[in-house]
Amino acid sequence: MHYIVLDLEWNQPMSYNSPAYKSVGGKLLFEMIQIGAVKVDEKFNIIDSFSQLIRPEHYIKLHPRIMRITHITQDDLADAPGFCEAVSAFADWCGEDYVMLTWGCDDISVLNQNMTFFKCETPLAKIYDIQRLFGEMIGNSKERKGLKAAMEHFEIEPDEDKPFHNAVHDAYYTALVFSRLPEPRKVLDYPLTPKKLQHLDRGKRECTAILRVRSIKDGLSSSAAMTPPCPVCGKRMEVAEGYVRQRDEMYMALGDCPQHGLAFVKLQFGKNDEGKRIMTRSASLSDEQSKAYVNTKHLQWQQKLAAQQETENQ
Ligand SMILES: [Zn+2]
């Protein structure tokens, strides 16, 4: 028996108002554009690799964010096979006696949704989660660590000629982590089930918290204001420029989540029923996430902040 370590890249809709998203988005949130994998033998040596680009049929235009992180270009995909053909080539490469492994549940959720959407019936083996086994090993199964953190743990240096976010490179690094685990075979204790993928509706893209503060100044410099949580994943974000006063007791800043992108953070100061000063913090993910938009937003913020400081100094 051998192990197949799988990693995928996918495209996302240009916008949630695009005709493509409106027509298929309910059933296809992301469209796969690359299958990458490496084959690992029973002694945990990497013995082969597989990389296949896929021509998207619905989200045809590559999202700038995806182009930026994967370095895949529109031209690269033009002559690539369609989804089912790519999966069938992958299954042939996998061979007979194998189990499939991946890092976390994102990839198989996307794979599962694409398989269903494209009515692709190529059978693939059951998939197990290396991320959970790693979490168990470091004694923290709750917190889902990133692949890079696991590489750092084992002091695995990334190769210069294998940049991240290329499916076959990420699969290679995942396999290296897998082979360094004290008991790699235990990965079979962690079968994966795909999650249902859905675009987060408004409610889930916003989070609000009410906090007691002594003064507006204290509130603005508190960690609740300076490192607000991403409204989607809850990870602490940086507010690069800081807060700009919008109205008397209302301030806004831009937050950046490495995974979810630009969010708007709003602080509204006021008093609660007992007359104590409170700060209501709400963070919401921006609908627009193109690189140009995000850059412009940050520039605007720098200018607003500079103007604000000037008035304050007068
Ligand atoms: Zn996030």
pLDDT digits (tens, 9 = 90+) for 250-286: 999 999 998 889 999 999 999 988 889 999 999 999 8
What pLDDT was estimated at residue 142?
62
Separation of CA 286 and ligand 1 centre (Å): 12
| Cα 245 to ligand 1 centroid, rounded to whole Å | 25
Low-confidence residues in the chain, pLDDT < 70? 141-143, 198, 200-204
C-alpha 251 – ligand 1 centre gap (Å): 21
Distance 288 CA to ligand 1 centre (A): 15
From the CA of 206, how far away is ligand 1's center (Å)? 11
pLDDT value, residue 292: 85
Of 44, 34, 68, which Cα lies nearest the Cα of 170?
A: 34
Instruction: For residue 310, report the distance from its CA to the centre of ligand 1, in Å.
Output: 33
Q: How far is residue 69's CA from residue 59's CA, in Å, rounded to a whole number?
A: 17
User: What is residue 204's predicted lDDT score, i.e. its pLDDT?
Assistant: 60
Q: How far apart are alpha carbons 235 and 247 in whole angstroms? A: 28
Tell me how far the alpha carbon of residue 97 lies from the centroid of ligand 1, in angstroms. 38
Ligand 1 centroid, distance to 273 Cα (angstroms): 33
Tokens of 241: 């420029």
Burial class (CB in 10 A: 0-12, 13-18, 19+), 309: exposed
Distance 161 CA to ligand 1 centre (A): 29
Ligand 1 center–CA 261 separation, angstroms: 7
Task: Give 45 Cα–ligand 1 centroid separation in angstroms.
Answer: 35
Strands 2-11 and 206-212: unpaired
Give me ligand 1 centre to Cα 238, in Å: 11
What DSSP assignment string belongs to 144-197? ---HHHHHHHTTPPPPTTS-SSSHHHHHHHHHHHHHHSS-GGGGGG-B--PPPP
